[in-house]
């Protein structure tokens, strides 16, 4: 039985109803599954988080670009349609786009009016259009062209990217025995990994990064410490969230979440709020500096952010720096003189005793000595 691919359809809505319907029909006709925002229901998570999850879970991303830019996402100032496109492209999702040609858009304006044209953000639409046309895309004049593009492009992407798609659960073979064996091997592997790590720590403890690596990591540390990340809506994922500011440096966040990042952040359906924050907010920023990488997990639908070799070395560099500072601070504190304590003890205890003794035994001499 042929596996079904999930195709996420992205576009503005009111001005492209016919084109979206044509895409949905063609995707179904090809034996695959369409997905789009009109199919979603409201939930606890933000709209953008829901969109990201659907794009990530889909096999192919499709953009239909007409004469409207779309509603604006407040934080970025970009339309949701452009954000969806950027997210799909940056995450390596197979994609294609169909763009209305100028003649067809003019004809549509004559037919239904100027409501199909962008009036508030024409410059942003033009920039977005140029971005889309610079990558895999084609023009359409009517909904028939959209259908044709779907039927031609999906098989090409499926073959090119070796897409596996979705399959009915009843068609999946019973793998309980294999699962049990994998669980046993996982436990065994974990024990061996611990032993290997201990050996590695013993042999590599004296190794320091090269001068070039140290310079690169120091520069990266300064860059990450300057980048502020808005966590005002994500404080609840941290144990001490109530005490945190609305913004934190990318370096502080990365180091605070180091253990979770090293373990790997996945976008499984039962992901925790912390995992969601790591996968959709923190790790994409760290990927820019090659500290983590987004990878496909074999045999499953979800993806994972894994720490790169550079990321492991960088975290080790930061941790060693923190330890050195703590040791230096302790050494400085231990070596520092303590004049304040000596000064306080001398006048408060010994001096008064001497004064009493001198005042009783030889008051005249003391007075004389003071006069001299």
Rounded distance, CA 300 to CA 182, Å?
Answer: 15
- Interval 234-255 mean pLDDT: 89
Give 63-87 pLDDT, tens digit per residue: 999 999 998 988 889 999 999 999 9
- Interval 337-351 mean pLDDT: 54
**Whether residue 224 sits in one domain with residue 159:** no
Task: Write down the pLDDT at residue 73.
Answer: 86
Q: Is residue 363 pLDDT above 60, yes or no? A: no
Portion of the chain with pLDDT greater than 90, in percent: 42
Q: Is residue 344 pLDDT above 60, yes or no? A: no
- Interval 313-334 mean pLDDT: 87
- Interval 51-71 mean pLDDT: 93
Using the structure block, give the residue that is written with the tokens 């005490």: 243
Rounded distance, CA 193 to CA 199, Å?
Answer: 10
Give the structural domain span for 95: 6-168
Residue 301 lies in a domain: yes
Task: Write down the pLDDT at residue 357.
Answer: 45
Residue 81 in contact with residue 69, Cβ under 8 Å?
yes
Task: Write down the pLDDT at residue 13.
Answer: 87
Q: Is residue 32 pLDDT above 70, yes or no? A: yes
Which tops the pLDDT comparison, 353 or 305?
Answer: 305
Portion of the chain with pLDDT greater than 70, in percent: 80
**Whether residue 43 sits in one domain with residue 134:** yes
Could you give the number of structural domains in the chain? Answer: 2
Q: Is residue 295 pLDDT above 80, yes or no? A: yes
**Whether residue 298 sits in one domain with residue 158:** no
**Whether residue 119 sits in one domain with residue 25:** yes
Q: Given pLDDT bands bounded at 50, 70 and 90, which one contains residue 364?
A: very low
Q: Is residue 318 pLDDT above 60, yes or no? A: yes
**Whether residue 216 sits in one domain with residue 164:** no
Q: Is residue 177 pLDDT above 80, yes or no? A: no
CATH number of the domain to which 67 belongs? 3.40.50.10140
Q: Is residue 349 pLDDT above 90, yes or no? A: no
Q: Given pLDDT bands bounded at 50, 70 and 90, which one contains residue 234?
A: confident
Q: Given pLDDT bands bounded at 50, 70 and 90, which one contains residue 124?
A: very high
Rounded distance, CA 320 to CA 307, Å?
Answer: 18
Q: Is residue 235 pLDDT above 80, yes or no? A: yes
- Interval 269-295 mean pLDDT: 89
Q: Given pLDDT bands bounded at 50, 70 and 90, which one contains residue 94?
A: very high
Rounded distance, CA 120 to CA 117, Å?
Answer: 9
Looking only at Cα atoms, what is the longest distance across the chain?
121
**Whether residue 164 sits in one domain with residue 234:** no
Rounded distance, CA 253 to CA 231, Å?
Answer: 10
Rounded distance, CA 291 to CA 284, Å?
Answer: 10
Residue 364 lies in a domain: no
* Token reading at 24: 């949905």
Query: What is the reported pTM?
Result: 0.49
Task: Write down the pLDDT at residue 359.
Answer: 44
Per the document, the length of the chain is 372
Burial class (CB within 10 angstroms; exposed 0-12, middle 13-18, buried 19+) of 267: buried
Rounded distance, CA 93 to CA 55, Å?
Answer: 8
Q: Given pLDDT bands bounded at 50, 70 and 90, which one contains residue 157?
A: very high
Q: Given pLDDT bands bounded at 50, 70 and 90, which one contains residue 324?
A: confident
**Whether residue 216 sits in one domain with residue 161:** no
Single out the residue of 65, 73, 125 nearest to residue 101, CA to CA.
65
Task: Write down the pLDDT at residue 178.
Answer: 67
Residue 230 lies in a domain: yes
**Whether residue 18 sits in one domain with residue 138:** yes
Q: Is residue 40 pLDDT above 60, yes or no? A: no
Lowest average pLDDT, out of 42-56, 91-105, 124-138, 202-216, goes to 202-216
Q: Is residue 167 pLDDT above 90, yes or no? A: no
Which tops the pLDDT comparison, 175 or 91?
Answer: 91
For the chain, report the end-to-end CA distance as a whole number of angstroms.
115
- The secondary structure of residue 74, as a DSSP letter, is T
Lowest average pLDDT, out of 109-118, 172-181, 245-254, 329-338, goes to 172-181
Domain boundary pick from 168, 196, 226: 168
Task: Write down the pLDDT at residue 369.
Answer: 39
**Whether residue 69 sits in one domain with residue 146:** yes
Four-residue CA torsion sign, 355, 358, 359, 363: negative
Which tops the pLDDT comparison, 124 or 335?
Answer: 124
Rounded distance, CA 288 to CA 84, Å?
Answer: 18
Task: Write down the pLDDT at residue 333.
Answer: 81
Nearest-Å Rg of the Cα atoms of the chain is 33
Domain boundary pick from 143, 168, 193: 168
Task: Write down the pLDDT at residue 81.
Answer: 92
Three-state DSSP state, 115: helix
Residue 342 lies in a domain: no
Q: Given pLDDT bands bounded at 50, 70 and 90, which one contains residue 341?
A: low
């Amino acid at each position: 039985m042929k596996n079904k691919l999930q195709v996420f359809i992205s576009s503005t809505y009111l001005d492209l109803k016919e084109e979206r319907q044509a895409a949905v029909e063609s995707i179904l006709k090809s034996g695959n599954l369409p997905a789009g925002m009109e199919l979603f229901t409201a939930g606890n998570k933000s709209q953008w988080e829901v969109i990201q999850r659907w794009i990530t879970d889909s096999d192919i991303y499709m953009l239909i670009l007409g004469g409207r830019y779309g509603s604006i996402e407040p934080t970025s100032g970009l339309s949701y349609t452009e954000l969806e496109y950027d997210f799909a492209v940056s995450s390596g999702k197979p994609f294609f786009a169909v763009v209305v040609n100028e003649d067809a858009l003019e004809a549509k304006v004559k037919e239904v009016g100027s409501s199909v044209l962008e009036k508030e953000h024409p410059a942003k639409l033009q920039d977005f259009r140029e971005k889309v046309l610079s990558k895999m895309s084609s023009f359409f004049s009517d909904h028939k062209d959209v259908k044709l593009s779907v039927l031609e492009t999906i098989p090409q992407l499926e073959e090119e990217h070796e897409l596996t798609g979705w399959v009915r659960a009843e068609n999946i073979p019973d793998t309980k025995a294999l699962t049990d064996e994998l669980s046993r091997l996982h436990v065994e592997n974990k024990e061996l990994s611990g032993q290997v790590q201990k050996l590695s720590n013993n042999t590599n403890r004296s190794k320091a990064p090269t001068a070039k690596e140290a310079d690169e990591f120091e520069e990266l540390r300064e860059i990450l410490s300057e980048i502020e990340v808005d966590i005002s809506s994500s404080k609840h994922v941290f144990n001490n969230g109530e005490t945190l500011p609305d913004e934190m440096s990318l370096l502080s966040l990365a180091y605070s979440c180091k253990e979770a990042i090293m373990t790997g952040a996945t976008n499984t359906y039962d992901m925790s709020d912390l995992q969601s924050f790591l996968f959709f907010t923190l790790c994409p920023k760290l990927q820019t500096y090659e500290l983590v990488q987004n990878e496909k997990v074999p045999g499953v639908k979800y993806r994972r952010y894994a720490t790169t070799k550079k990321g492991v070395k960088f975290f080790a560099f930061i941790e060693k720096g923190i330890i050195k500072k703590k040791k230096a601070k302790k050494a400085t504190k231990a070596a520092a003189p303590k004049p304040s304590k000596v000064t306080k003890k001398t006048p408060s205890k010994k001096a008064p005793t001497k004064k009493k003794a001198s005042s009783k035994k030889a008051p005249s001499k003391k007075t004389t000595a003071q006069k001299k």
